[in-house]
Amino acid sequence: MTKTLFKNGNVFYHGKLQKLDVLIEDELISKVAKSIDEGDQVIDLQGKLLTPGFVDLHVHLREPGFEHKETIATGTNSAKYGGYSHIVAMANTKPCMDDVETIRDFANRVKKDAKIHTYTYSAITTDLKGQELVDFKANSQEDIVAGFSDDGRGVQSTEMMEAAMKAAKSVNSIIVAHCEDESELQPGACVNLGDFSKENNLVGINNASEYKHAMRDLQLANEIGNRYHICHISTKETVAALKKARQTNPLVSGEACPHHLILTDENIKDLNPNYKMNPPLRSKEDLEALIEGINEGVVTVISTDHAPHAENEKQQHISKAPFGIIGSQHAFSLMYTYLVKKGLIPLETVLACMSINPAKVIGIKHDLEVGYKANLAVFDLDEEYLITKESIKSKSTNTPFLQTKCFGALKYHVLDGKITKI
């Protein structure tokens, strides 16, 4: 039995930052106390941050079918270097994660290549087409399936979403929804509808395309009583709708992404397609509503929507380039630098939204707690670094944050007790 002692850490424990020591024995956390004096290996953290590993509920690993963008190996490694211990991949692969055979093939690939704990969502509808439900019972029985999502597409039919929620409830699973009403979208829509889109003669994406579906779904979830989670919230109206819903329904939740919390459409430089994602960067009012939503405990999860694309795919005009940016590796550092350090969101809130809260949403046992698996991350909050193409672990480099300076460098990653010094 190997004992490793992390001493003198600034530890995120029971929702608060505390000066503590943490002892790991093999895979498990065996002791948390103000002073511990045992261990075969002692690592003096000298006040560095020790947190439960992060959990990302929204990642596109692109494998199978789009390995030129990302693979399970590169995508999970990128997440590892961001301090993540668990991620959930979206179902929009080729073939789509809509049947047991494809899901089992993915599980085998994960077993072989993943650097951290990796789950997937099953699709809600066959091939994400919104026409027929998948076999909820069969797919939910696969251990790797964390829930059901058609992310990349909104489920357009109210009847179909109602049936999906009832099916998810029957197997005690969760619907993780991409809220996008296609009837609100114009052909070629690529950025937020606002001054920026008008000034640059671009087709805009209005707020209603998101919040109409969110409001529809929240009402359905209230009536059906199923677990329901909103992906990548970007509008003030969606935040308001979720706030109202959560007052009476604890089974609904929602996430925000770092880019929607840091950038607005006014930050888009030179029509750079690395600022193009779905939902788009919104207005200052929307960003402020999201921050308020996190601080009020309305939006309880921070996810990345890590969406890699090959460089040549993104080098098209912003109106033609695919939606999506990478996000796993630098999510925490960006949040810390541009929100925590500026006094906009407390560090404890960010840590909860990136670790404990998302684990609760999908029902996995994960926390910095005695008897739990040691899935941890250590950051030096005082160490500044530059995000460069060369330092990115993902296969793709499509991010608006290239050449951005950040504080909060990862120093140690712990997965089931196995320690990697970064």
Pairing assessment for the beta strands 418-421 and 405-415 based on DSSP bridges: antiparallel
State yes or no: cis peptide before 64, omega within 30 of 0: yes
Which of the residues 305, 367, 380, 382 is marked catalytic?
A: 305
Q: Which of these, 186, 230, 229, lies nearest to 209 by C-alpha position?
A: 186
What is the pTM (predicted TM-score) of this model? 0.98
Stretch(es) of the chain classified as CATH 2.30.40.10: 3-49+373-421
**Residue 29 one-letter amino acid:** I
Please tell me the distance from the alpha carbon of residue 193 to that of residue 106, in angstroms, as a whole number.
38
53-362 is a CATH 3.20.20.140 domain: yes
Q: Which residues contact 395 (CB under 8 A, 6 or more apart)?
A: 68, 69, 70, 71, 74, 75, 308
What is residue 238's predicted lDDT score, i.e. its pLDDT?
A: 98
Q: Which of these, 268, 274, 270, 269, lies nearest to 311 by C-alpha position?
A: 274
Strand partners, 22: 6, 32
Stretch(es) of the chain classified as CATH 3.20.20.140: 53-362
3-49+373-421 is a CATH 1.10.1740.10 domain: no
What is residue 1's predicted lDDT score, i.e. its pLDDT?
A: 79
pLDDT one-digit tens code per residue, 120-149: 999 999 999 999 999 999 999 999 999 999
What residues in the chain have per-residue pLDDT under 50?
none
305 catalytic residue (yes or no): yes
Convert 68-94 to b/e letters by CB count within 10 Å (16 or more is b).
ebbbbbbbbbbbbbbbbbbbbbbbbbe
Cβ proximity of 293 and 379 under 8 Å: no
Three-state SS letters, the chain:
CCEEEEEEEEEEECCEEEEEEEEEECCEEEEEECCCCCCCEEEECCCCEEEECEEEEEECCCCCCCCCCCCHHHHHHHHHCCCEEEEEECCCCCCCCCCHHHHHHHHHHHHHHCCCEEEEEECCEHHHCCCCECCHHHHHCCCCEEEECCCCCCCCCHHHHHHHHHHHHHCCCEEEECCCCHHHCCCCCCEECCHHHHHCCCCEECCHHHHHHHHHHHHHHHHHCCEEEECCCCCHHHHHHHHHHHCCCCCEEEEECHHHHHCCHHHCCCCCHHHCCCCCCCCHHHHHHHHHHHHCCCCCEECCCECCCCHHHHCCCCCCCCCCECCCCCHHHHHHHHHHCCCCCCHHHHHHHHCHHHHHHHCCCCCCCCCCECCEEEEEEEEEEECCCCCCCCCCCCCCCCCCEEEEEEEEEEECCEEEEC
